[in-house]
Amino acid sequence: MSSVLQARGVVMTFRNGDEETQVLRGIDVDLAPGELVALVGASGSGKSTLLSILGLLLRPTEGEIQIAGQRVDDMGEKARAAFRNQRLGFVFQFHHLLPDFSAMENVAFPAAAPAGGISPEMRRRALSLLERVGLADRAHFPASRLSGGQKQRVAIARALMNRPELVIADEPTGNLDLRSAGQVLDLMGEVNREEGGTFLICTHDEHVAARCHRRILLVDGKVQPQEEKAIPGG
Amino acid sequence: MFALTVARRYLTSNPAQTVLLVTGVALGVTVFIFITALIEGLAINLTEQVTGNSAHVTLEPATRLAQILPGDDGVRTEGVALISTFQRSQIRTWSSTVDLIRSQSGVAGLSPQISGNAFLVKGEAVQPVSVTGLEPEGLDAITPITPSLVSGQGALGADGLLIGVELAKDLGLTAGQPVLLRTDRGGERLLTVRGIFKTGLQSLDSRVAFMSLQTARPLFNLPEGVTNIEVKLDEPGRAREVADFLAGATGLRATPWQDKNLNLEAALDAQGRTGTLIQIFSLISIIIGVASALVLSAYRRRSEVGIMRAFGISGRFIVAVFMLQGLLIGLAGGLLGCLSGYGLCTFLASLTGADGTPPLPIAPERGGYVAVLILTTLGAVLASAFPARSAARIDPLEAIQQ
């Protein structure tokens, strides 16, 4: 099976004046389609940096990255933005919803902005995603009136709007209470099982990592070999 | 257009701030309109005072230069041009010229005239007088004489004369009395004072006499032509342009009123420049107001813009969202300002002072509404360019991590 994500020899060095800090020291990552993978590691291990690089929000100092069979590390800014829009989904620790828009409009936004408006097809897709995340009855509520957990579920629906090959989640439950965090994790698990979406979840929460198929442990900018957990139903 | 939907939503999400912003723009536009209408009103008022009783364009026979033959070496040696005095200076084809002028748009009135100098003699009293022979039906075309009559009436007839009140006083004349007129062409005739006018202008009231063109012909020995054609325009400001056109079309010498009042023109120019400065400052204040509000808005929405960028929404879309906000603010403020500016100017124009005239010579219809609407909208769009560009350059990673 071809990889959804293949990263080879990713190095990231930050420069501050004369001082150089190597945060990633030659990372290799492979994600197979339909995998739910946790990216774990202590603070400062470089997991957020790796996630940003794999999400095309940051350029690595060295290394080669392919997503869905396409080389992405040498793309120009416009092509990277278009790739992020069409092929990747993002869920962040903070939901970052647009407060002046309804839940449905927030979900449809990544498709609507490049197309110039919300088409009936986009509306149907957004509503079905909201139904999927259990918020069909909140579709026309302004995002500002939703609870924290509901907002994060809307954010997940938004990440799935353009049917991305890979969803990148950075501490998606970090700001939620236990119950809401559980709901969000259940949801990502369901979407992963039922729609075969590939998820890379950066977390320092053991509960989150435990619910993933496998984990990638970063220690001091390097991937540590892990025992793989069987993919449920796989 | 989705960017417009987003821009509108951003503006309506904080109604108090938007209302304040639009009101600020509207105030700037109101000031612009008030100043424009006032400067225009002042110019109209001054021009009316200066040209109300005189022509806007005067057509006279072209100056004929005497033919000077070159000397043996082929070089003309005279330092000044010699005016030909061989023929009488007159406009022979005045009838066709009058038709041509009448066919032009913006001509309010015209009057072919025979102008000359004469003396009015009554007993031993003699007064120099500037005689204007004109068509009786065009008596009021240039100077409103009939409404200025203080005694007698305006029908000139075959031997009628209208004189100013000062001249009548100097010669002890009243309406209905005969008076002898002796012209500088040797003509002499006993005429009757039909009416006495008072325009309030010393030069007219003490020095000018009006008679019919037919009466003037034998007196000034001009059986066919006229000496000058006076033209009144709807818009005195167009005088120079009309004069240039008529000079080209007729070959006559056409003098706009401004050339006879160079000081006034300079004063009006200076006044216009002052107005332009105030207009520019009000536009700058509008631009700064819009720019600062949108800079703040872009800053407040950094994380939202950041997430849009993370989702791969193009910089062009972000720029469009902020520039459309500028456009909407400019348009709304501009329209509101036009309404309030027109309201303010109309109100001020409707006020009357002790003498029955408005305290400010304001011209509400000359507020430059279309210009200020276009300039304000463009200015507001321009003002939004900087915040729009800086918003589009927000680093998604940095904005999300905040």
**B307 CA to chain A: closest CA distance, Å?**
7
Mean pLDDT of B323-334: 93
H or E stretch at A167: strand A166-170
Q: CA-nearest residue of chain A to B302?
A: A96
Separation between Cα atoms, residue A123 and residue B225, nearest integer Å: 84
Handedness of CA A163, A164, A165, A170 (dihedral sign): negative
Asked if B311 and A78 come within 8 Å (Cβ–Cβ), the reply is no
Separation between Cα atoms, residue B307 and residue B318, nearest integer Å: 11
Predicted pLDDT of residue A104: 96
Is A18 a residue whose pLDDT tops 50?
Answer: yes
Q: Is B80 contained in some domain?
A: no
Domain endpoint, select from B207, B223, B251: B251
Is B358 a residue whose pLDDT tops 90?
Answer: no
Q: Which residue has the tokens 């990263």?
A: A7
Mean pLDDT of B251-278: 87
Same domain, B213 and B336: no
**Contacts B3 to A, Cβ<8 Å:** 113, 116
Q: Does A79 touch chain B (CB under 8 A)?
A: no
Question: How many Cβ contacts (< 8 angstroms) between chains A and B?
Answer: 73
* Least confident stretch, B108-117, B256-265, B332-341: B256-265
**Contacts B307 to A, Cβ<8 Å:** 90, 92, 96, 98
Residue pair A159/A92 in contact by the 8 Å Cβ criterion? no
Domain count for chain B: 2
**Contacts B13 to A, Cβ<8 Å:** 99-100
Choose among B315, B317, B400: nearest Cβ to A92: B400
Predicted pLDDT of residue B70: 65
Q: CA-nearest residue of chain A to B307?
A: A96
Q: Is B383 contained in some domain?
A: yes
Choose among A85, A100, A101: nearest Cβ to B311: A85
Same domain, B271 and B247: no
Same domain, B286 and B387: yes
Mean per-residue pLDDT over chain B, rounded: 88
Q: CA-nearest residue of chain A to B5?
A: A117
**A135 CA to chain B: closest CA distance, Å?**
22
**Contacts A171 to B, Cβ<8 Å:** none
Same domain, B119 and B25: no
Best mutation target among A90, A93, A106 (most B Cβ atoms within 10 Å) is A90
Predicted pLDDT of residue B57: 92
Same domain, B239 and B271: no
- Alpha-carbon B98 to chain mean position: 23
Asked if B308 and A109 come within 8 Å (Cβ–Cβ), the reply is yes
Provide, rounded to the nearest whole percent, the portion of chain B with pLDDT above 90: 48
Is A158 a residue whose pLDDT tops 90?
Answer: yes
Mean pLDDT of B37-58: 85
Best mutation target among A85, A106, A151, A165 (most B Cβ atoms within 10 Å) is A85
Is B264 a residue whose pLDDT tops 60?
Answer: yes
**A229 CA to chain B: closest CA distance, Å?**
31
Predicted pLDDT of residue A141: 93
Taking only the tens place, the pLDDT of each residue in A186-199 is 888 888 888 788 99
Q: Is B76 contained in some domain?
A: no
Q: How far is CA A155 from CA A114, A124, B209, in A?
A: 19, 17, 92
With vertex at residue A132, the alpha carbon angle to CA A134 and CA A3, rounded to the nearest 5 degrees, is 135
Predicted pLDDT of residue A59: 92
Structure tokens at A35: 């995998």
Domains and CATH numbers, chain A: 33-59+76-224 (3.40.50.300)
Residue pair B400/B303 in contact by the 8 Å Cβ criterion? yes
Which domain does B280 fall in, by range? 2-50+265-401
Is B356 a residue whose pLDDT tops 80?
Answer: no
**Contacts A94 to B, Cβ<8 Å:** 303, 400
Is A185 a residue whose pLDDT tops 90?
Answer: no
What ipTM does the predicted assembly reach?
Answer: 0.88
Same domain, B205 and B272: no
Mean pLDDT of B354-361: 78
**Contacts A104 to B, Cβ<8 Å:** none
Q: Does A199 touch chain B (CB under 8 A)?
A: no
Predicted pLDDT of residue A233: 41
Q: Does A14 touch chain B (CB under 8 A)?
A: no
Structure tokens at B171: 């010669």
Q: To 10 degrees, what angle do helices B369-392 and B315-350 make? A: 150
Predicted pLDDT of residue B298: 85
Q: Is B395 contained in some domain?
A: yes
Taking only the tens place, the pLDDT of each residue in B166-222 is 999 999 999 999 999 999 988 899 999 999 999 888 888 999 999 999 999 999 998
Q: Does A99 touch chain B (CB under 8 A)?
A: yes
**Contacts B400 to A, Cβ<8 Å:** 92, 94, 96
User: Any bridge partners for residue B232, and if so which?
Assistant: B109
**Contacts A101 to B, Cβ<8 Å:** 9
Taking only the tens place, the pLDDT of each residue in A76-103 is 989 999 999 999 999 888 888 999 999 9
Q: Is B75 contained in some domain?
A: no
Q: What is the DSSP letter of B121?
A: E
Predicted pLDDT of residue A227: 55
Choose among B2, B12, B315: nearest Cβ to A116: B2
Check residues A184 and A42 and name the one with the higher pLDDT: A42
Q: Is B388 contained in some domain?
A: yes
Predicted pLDDT of residue B295: 87
Domain endpoint, select from B221, B251, B281: B251
Same domain, B242 and B99: yes
Q: Does A172 touch chain B (CB under 8 A)?
A: no
Same domain, B100 and B43: no
Q: Is B370 contained in some domain?
A: yes
Q: Which of A77, A54, A58 is nearest to A8 (CA)?
A: A54
Q: To 10 degrees, what angle do helices A178-195 and A148-160 make? A: 20
Mean pLDDT of A168-178: 84
Same domain, B94 and B242: yes
Predicted pLDDT of residue B19: 93
Give the confidence band of B66 by pLDDT, cuts at 50, 70, 90.
low
Taking only the tens place, the pLDDT of each residue in B95-125 is 899 999 989 888 999 999 999 999 999 888 8
Q: Is B258 contained in some domain?
A: no
Give the confidence band of B83 by pLDDT, cuts at 50, 70, 90.
low
Asked if A82 and B312 come within 8 Å (Cβ–Cβ), the reply is yes
Same domain, B154 and B232: yes
Taking only the tens place, the pLDDT of each residue in B288-306 is 888 888 888 888 888 889 8
Mean pLDDT of B37-46: 88
Q: Does A232 touch chain B (CB under 8 A)?
A: no
Same domain, B388 and B298: yes
**A234 CA to chain B: closest CA distance, Å?**
31
Is A234 a residue whose pLDDT tops 50?
Answer: no
Same domain, B23 and B91: no
**Contacts A57 to B, Cβ<8 Å:** 310, 396-397
Determine if residue B179 is left, alpha or beta; phi over 0 gives left, psi from -120 to 50 gives alpha, anything else beta. Answer: beta
